[in-house]
Every structure is written in C-alpha cells, then in structure tokens.
Amino acid sequence: MATVAIRTSIERILSGTIRIPAFQRGFVWTTDNISFLMDSIYRNYPIGNILLWRTRDSLEKERDLGPYSLPKPEKEYPIDYVLDGQQRLTSIFSVFQTVLAPNSSTEAFDIFFDLQAPEGALEDQFVSIFEPGSDPHRYFPLRAVFDTARFFEIANGLSPEEKNKVVELQRRFQEFQINLDVIEFDNKDEIAIIFERVNRAGIRLDAFQLLSAWTWSSEFDLNESISELASELEPFGFYDLSSDPNLMMKCFAAVVKGDAQLKDVVSLHGPTVRDRFDEIKRGILGAIDFLKKQLLVESLSLMPYPAMLVPLSAFFATSAVSGVHPSDKQREAMVRWYWRSCLSRRYSSGVGRAHAADIALMNSIKTGHEPEILRAVRPIEAEFFIDNRFTIGNVNSKILINLLSQKSPVSLLSGAKIDLAAVLQKANKNEFHHIFPRAHLKKTGFENEKINAIANICFLSKSDNNRIKDKEPSAYVNMMTKGKESEILSTNIIPKNFASLSYDDFLQGRAVMIAGFANSLAGL
C-alpha cells in the first residue's frame, strides 16, 4: 500500500494515469456526501483505501471522472484503473482541481469552509449553500486551497483570525495522505469479477443494522416493525422511506434525542428506541399526514427535501394514541417554515445544523410558543423559475411541482381536474408538459436550455397533450373548453394573455406570477 498527498493524486489524474473503467457505476454522491468527506479529511479521519488496478494496456471503454473527461495517458506510463473508491476520488478531484473544463454542472462540488462555524461542529463546517442573509465573505472556497494565487488573494482580505483559520485549513488538506492499494493483474476478463467481489465483500454493518441488533428482544424486532410501518405508508406514497435507513434513523433521533446530528444518531440507545417506537411511529405517520393534507406532497420522491420530514416527525411524535392535532396557528407556522425552507434551499447543505435548529423550532411551536420562522429568508426572485431547467429528479423542479399542486390545477384544454394523488405518486416526467411546446420552440430556433425552463412547465393530461402536439399557444388557445378559460389559467398560474405573448415575455410573466404565489405561501 502506498500513500499520496491530495495534490499528487490530482496531478496523476490530470496526467491521465488514473482512470475509471466502464464497468464502474457513474458518480452518484450528493453534495452532502461530498461535504461530509471534506469534513473527514479536515479532521484527519480515515476515509478508506482507494483500490487501483495497474496495467500497461488501456481498456476500450472508460467512464468520465464525474463531470470531467480525462486526458489521454502518456504512453510510457502504466495506467491505474479505479476498482474501489471512485466516489471519494472523484469528489476530491472535482472539489480542488482548476485545470480541466467540465462537461456538465459542477455546482455540487462548489464546497466552502464556513469561517464562523464552531470548531467542533460535526458536518456543518463545509457547506455549498450560504445561510440566507449571511455575509458571503464568511465562506472560503475549497477550490482555492491548492490554487496559490487565489488562496493568498482571498486570505489577504480576511481578518487575522480568519486568515489563521484558512492557513490551517490549507495545511490540513495539503498534508492529508490518501491510501492507495495497487494490484497488478493481467487477465482483463477477471478484473470485472474482482471489482464485483470487492464491492460485494465491502458491505459493512451500518448504523441501522447496529440499531436493529441493539433494540432486538423476544418481544421486539426493529426490522419487522419497520416493515410493518412501511406497509402502512405504502398507500400514501411514502413506502420508500423504509429503504432510506439514514433518514429513518434521523427521525428516530429527532424524537428520542431532540436532535438529528451524527452524534445523536450514533448514540441512540436501543432499549429506548424499542420502548418509544410507537411514539416515533406516530411522529412519522403524523408528519406524512400533514405533508399530504396541508402541503399536497404525495410521495417522498417528489418532496423537495425529504430531510424536512425529520423535524416534522419531532412535532407529531406523542405517546397519546389519538396523536397530535395542531391548532390553526401551529399549522400556519409549520406551513410557513416548510415553504421558507424550500424557497431558500435551506436543506441543500448543512443539514445537521438545519435539523438542530428546526427540531428546536418545532418543539417550541408544539409547546404553544410563537417563534420567528426563519426570519432571514428573503423572497424568491422570478429569475429562479427562468434560469433553472426542469428535470423530474431535480430539487428546483420538485419545488415547482409542489407549488403548482397547491392550486389544484385542471388540464389545459379540457379543464378536467388533475388527479394529483395518482400523478404525483407515479413521479413520472410524462405527467408534466411544456406550455409552449418543445417542438414549436425548436422550430423557432430556441435551445433546449431555454425551452426547458421550469416556468414553461405545467400539469397536462395525456389526451390534452396529444391534441396540442406542436401547436403554439395562439393556435391551441381556442381549443380550451368554453367558460373554463379563467379557471384553467388561474389554477395553472398562467398569464391571461399568454397566447399573444412572445416566449420570452411569457417566461417573464409566468415566472413573476409563480414567484409571487410562492412568496405568499411562505409569508414573505
């Protein structure tokens, strides 16, 4: 086994000697995973070994390293293919490198060090989204750590205390050593088998499995109880919660420990979880019932931030069989909290810190207090709905879907009610369509980036979509059911004169309307 510094690993990737074989899966880590890795490196915690296969023959098919196409290797050098540790290596390279141009967005790798975070804060020192209303100068970009000129340019503008912090930050990352295990194996056909066995053998006992062992008794089996809970959730579109043990554990910790940070999850006391499982279960079921009835969230997969289930579970947790029934004031406060959290993308990073604050906030609301609800959050701008693109799994698109759901939309031509429960539980992109049809905009010279702006998306029945096809709005507006035009446009948040507008004017007009509606829900 060899050890290399982060800078050395970056240089080897840039030289083309470390590569990704085609049989690896693509990059799947989230921003939270990347931030957590940066935190582990900063604390000099072990991050596991990187397993490399060394060969002098290149493979016919390779993968990009995350958003980057790698340069051709120099012929005289052997090639090291990554068998295990791709997510970690891709994250490290993509956070720090400044040479290669990306093929796609690198926003997830824009990680910053929060100069004002407490030194001992677990998971919250490294963020990708700034706290609403905060001074952006408190965040130091990790991309500058190995860029000497930019590092000193930024550091020289900081206070002496902050400058010392970033110098220490740079030292820690420069001195960190990555463990590399290198194997040399000539038979290419067997390398894929080795890769599969490494990954199969690498399954570790995770925190959820440990908790299952700790809580087990002859009267209680956590896995069985979770399975029963999952069956209860299935009709409500939240069955997949049972397959997210990390989120489940945080809900447990929120109820039992009053917080859901890493230290709280790993210190859960098994017998306590067993004894309070009914209370936890009522908390989760109550939170889901609130999300469905008050916020029209029909599935976990279309919830902008599933992590927001955690503080809601704390609010609804109770030992009372009848459950928790919020007053009008409590309900209004939670609705404001939900929308302000979504619109500020509060849960995009620093989830541990958000959970700590929001669980405390929910417990305050629960005890009858009237706390300020995320006071620093600012109104969302119309440009958000123009500048972001619609993709069914994208957080920004889920925010739009959630917003449109609040209006109980009807279909664009028939005026028939959209069965939101059926549509949203499917979470199928075929249920959402372009108001200015894609084919029409293509013919008029618009690029996909503009065509797919989320301000151009609405719910639309399959039959109405087939009738519209590639017709521009001025051609299909007369196909709307007579007498229902006002309801159709109102429930879809579409300008009354949309059919006579240019596409750019339509986007601007609708974006302003959606932003206004969103801000009203958030009380901004």
pLDDT 10s digits, 180-194: 999 887 665 566 556
d(CA 504, CA 386): 9
Residues forming a β-bridge with 160:
none
How far is CA 21 from its chain centroid?
27
**6-14 vs 86-96: helix crossing angle, rounded to 10:** 90
Residue 204 reports pLDDT greater than 50: no
How many residues are there in the chain? Answer: 524
The whole-number pLDDT of residue 205 equals 41
Percent of the chain with pLDDT over 70: 89
* Whether 22 contacts 59, CB under 8 Å: yes
Ramachandran assignment for 206, one of left (phi > 0), alpha (psi -120 to 50 degrees), beta (any other): beta
For residue 168, count other CB atoms closer than 10 A to its CB.
Answer: 11
Q: What is the pLDDT of residues 330-388, one digit of tens each?
A: 999 999 999 999 999 999 888 888 999 999 999 999 998 988 898 889 999 999 999 99
Kind plus residue range of the DSSP H or E element containing 167: helix 160-175
DSSP string computed for 14-49: HTT-EEEETTS------HHHHHHHHHHHHTT----P
Average pLDDT of the chain? Answer: 87
Q: What is the pLDDT of residues 460-503, one digit of tens each?
A: 888 888 899 889 999 999 999 999 999 999 999 999 999 999 99
* Whether 418 contacts 410, CB under 8 Å: yes
**Token pair listed for 441:** 């905009």
Residue 203 reports pLDDT greater than 60: no
Model pTM score? 0.68
The 3-state DSSP class for residue 177 equals strand
Mean pLDDT is lowest, of 217-221, 427-431, 483-487, for 427-431
d(CA 34, CA 109): 7
The whole-number pLDDT of residue 256 equals 94
**Token pair listed for 24:** 């690896």
Q: What is the pLDDT of residues 119-142, one digit of tens each?
A: 666 567 898 876 666 777 889 999
The whole-number pLDDT of residue 202 equals 47
